[in-house]
A and B are shown apart, each in its own frame.
Chain A
Amino acid sequence: MTMFEKIWNRHVIVEDEGELLLHVDRALIHEGSSHAFAKLEAQGRAVARPQQVFAFNDHYVPTTGREKGVEGITIPEIRNMVLKLQANTAKHGITLFGIDDPRQGILHIVPPEQGITQPGLMIAGADSHTSTHGAFGCIAFGIGASDMMHVMATQTIWQRPQKTMRVTVDGRLGFGVAPKDVILAIIARIGAGGGTGHVIEYAGTAFRSMSMEGRMTVCNMSIEGGARAGMVAPDDATFAYMEGRPYAPRGAQWSEALALWKALPSDADAVFDCEVALDGADIAPMVTWGTSPEHAAPVTGTVPDPRNIADANKSVEIASALDYMALAPGMALSDIKVDRVFIGSCTNSRIEDLRAAADVARLGRAQVTAWVVPGSQLVKRQAENEGLDQVFRAAGFEWREPGCSLCTAINGDQLQPGERCASTSNRNFRGRQGTGSRTHLVSPAMAAAAALTGHLTDVRDLLGKA
């Protein structure tokens, strides 16, 4: 059996005409879940298992001026979203990691830090990047407001069986190559819809030797490859990360939990519906040039020329993406100048990401406006203890308060029309970082490199000189 099947089967309550009613261990919500609460309200329903629902102030919190808490939010509609979540969670008895909480942060950063995310669980989140949590060997996926209303009302969800895909990356990653590059290379290979209908298990030595932070980066972007969930088998790195976290089991229960967790990995003879393999040694630092995450290429490459694309549909699509991105066919990717740099988001705002970016920031001074937005207050404090904030400040980067910020640009942080940003986030969609904004997805080290030079840059060239 695959790991996916083992966890899935343990959560089946009943089967009905080919759909399964599954138990949900944890539901994760944020300010945007106002639609789900409105539906709950409209039907006069209560939250069934408030202890299993966790709420986060992340999407709408400002990244400066936080000393004043909610009152410091100057835009009334944004403040209202933060207040609404406070009111809804208080009313239903749901745990809120609120704007003033010393543990505050993004809904995909905080639950692993707190031990809320655990192997073997079924986690449903009001956000497509809930796939992040699969790094611990659990099934975690995003759902819309109607389904979230159902989860909150019943702590269950109706699902259809999913197909499984195994993506194996063996081989050592090269110098300067990060987990972000691995997932961008995978998406470039399978396409933005390549994983549709599948749950991906990431297997192979590249993931075995990856930190939990790196595995989370990879699983985070499973959705960008069309898969609702991505998973990595739990191992000693997982258990070491989890031990002692506030919500993790302790004492005798820790041993019981470990026994369950160790039985989760896919059996040697497990069969997957689809297999994909990449050689880790072939992966270079990646950048995206277009408006879909599948528009990704090694930084050493060039912007594609639509005239050389045989498939007529694809050719039109690329021409339109280049038009939006204002890029000339055939130009070197490293010649693309940027106006802004954003290091943050649930993809790349953990301590390891900030360390990687700081190692590059030490080498020079930012030529463009560059922001560092830690994923949580815990990450922020850890980074400050390590002196990383000083490194960034000395290099001219802005050190800000935790939240989603420029990843989705709804807290007031946004790019101006036409501005181009090297960003460690996960989506380069048109207008994602503000109306008319242009996004190039990169790893944290690559983002820092772009800040120092003012254009997309192969970080290996900078690090090689260090």
Chain B
Amino acid sequence: MEPFTKLTAIAAPIDEANVDTNQLCPTRFNKVPRGPEHARILFHDRRFNADGSEKEHILNVEPFKRAQIIITDRNWGCGSSRESAVYALYEFGIRCVIAPSFGDIHANNCAKNGLLPLVLGETECVAMRRQLRERPGASVTVDLAAQTVIDADGKVHRFDIHPVRRKCLLEGLDDIARTRQYVERIENFENAYRRERPWLYGNIGH
């Protein structure tokens, strides 16, 4: 996984609550193996007509075509657990989404793929989106080590993040490496647990 450390980039404001993962990646694209075509899949049915021509959408226009940060409203990424929604964001170039709240599964999927789900207060998100609409193409800086966001006006916002999520993103670590340290503990656990509930592993009598 690519580490996330510090990023200064164009941010796109998306003024919509409850953006679900079906919007980020319409279901019929779930079967597409991860690859560069995911860039076009992002918000596909909101961005493209059936004949492939572009609809009006913020991510279809300059400078937001080059955005690496999205600032949005509450409950971003609710709905389906599909990780292809993250592949779509990532391949488009998005590395950080800032919102007042996230769908839990999606936030987790983002973090496991090197994309930072960043929570700031509702009023902060509203103000930052307003700045970006007033000055399209303005940059925002996200510093994960310092846990700060510097908005388009230069104002600094602190954010909270779980220390493990922060560490994994900063170092580009995946979970398996962590888990492997505990192989012995896992085996001991399983042995005791299996003795307690042997019926969970027996042959089935259908």
Contacts and interface: CB of A to CB of B under 8 A. Distances in A.
B179 A128 contact: no
A432 B27 contact: yes
Interface string B163-179: 11001000000111011
B192 to A, nearest CB: 10
A440 interface: no
B69 to A, nearest CB: 20
A19 interface: yes
A228 B23 contact: no
B27 to A, nearest CB: 5
A144 B82 contact: yes
B108 A192 contact: no
Interface in A171-228: 192-193, 196-197, 223, 226, 228
A192 B78 CA distance: 8
Given A17-B164, A18-B162, A150-B176, A320 B74 contact: no
Contacts of A320: 16
A14 B182 contact: yes
B31 A192 contact: no
A150 to B, nearest CB: 5
B45 A38 contact: no
A197 B104 contact: yes
B81 A127 contact: yes
B146 to A, nearest CB: 19
B125 to A, nearest CB: 10
Given A13-B186, A257-B199, A147 B112 contact: yes
A345 B28 CA distance: 17
B101 A17 contact: no
B186 A144 contact: no
Contacts of A192: 18, 75, 78
A146 B81 contact: no
Interface residues of B, number: 63
Interface string A415-427: 0010000000001
Interface string A13-24: 110111101010
B86 interface: yes
B109 interface: yes
Interface string A319-335: 01000000000000000
Contact of A21 (B75, B174, B179): B179
B17 A128 contact: no
B82 A19 contact: no
A46 interface: no
Given A127-B81, A128-B79, A417-B50, 16 more contacts: A16-B178, A18-B163, A21-B182, A43-B176, A114-B206, A144-B109, A150-B179, A193-B101, A246-B204, A253-B198, A313-B17, A317-B16, A317-B17, A408-B27, A429-B20, A430-B22
Interface of B: 15-18, 20, 22-23, 26-28, 30-31, 33-34, 45-46, 50, 73-75, 78-84, 86, 101-106, 108-109, 112-113, 126, 162-164, 167, 174-176, 178-179, 182, 185-186, 189-190, 193, 196-201, 204-206
* Shortest beta-carbon contacts, A-B, top 10: A249-B199, A193-B75, A144-B109, A146-B112, A144-B83, A246-B206, A145-B83, A142-B81, A128-B81, A253-B199
28 contacts: A17-B167, A21-B179, A21-B182, A23-B193, A34-B33, A35-B84, A38-B33, A51-B201, A60-B31, A118-B200, A126-B81, A128-B80, A143-B105, A144-B112, A145-B109, A146-B109, A153-B176, A160-B162, A193-B101, A196-B102, A226-B103, A246-B204, A250-B199, A292-B18, A313-B17, A320-B16, A429-B20, A436-B45
Interface of A: 13-14, 16-19, 21, 23, 25, 31-32, 34-35, 38, 43, 45, 51-52, 60, 77-78, 80-81, 103, 114, 118, 121, 126-128, 141-147, 150, 153-156, 158, 160, 192-193, 196-197, 223, 226, 228, 246-250, 253, 256-257, 260, 292, 294, 313, 316-317, 320, 408-410, 417, 427, 429-432, 435-436
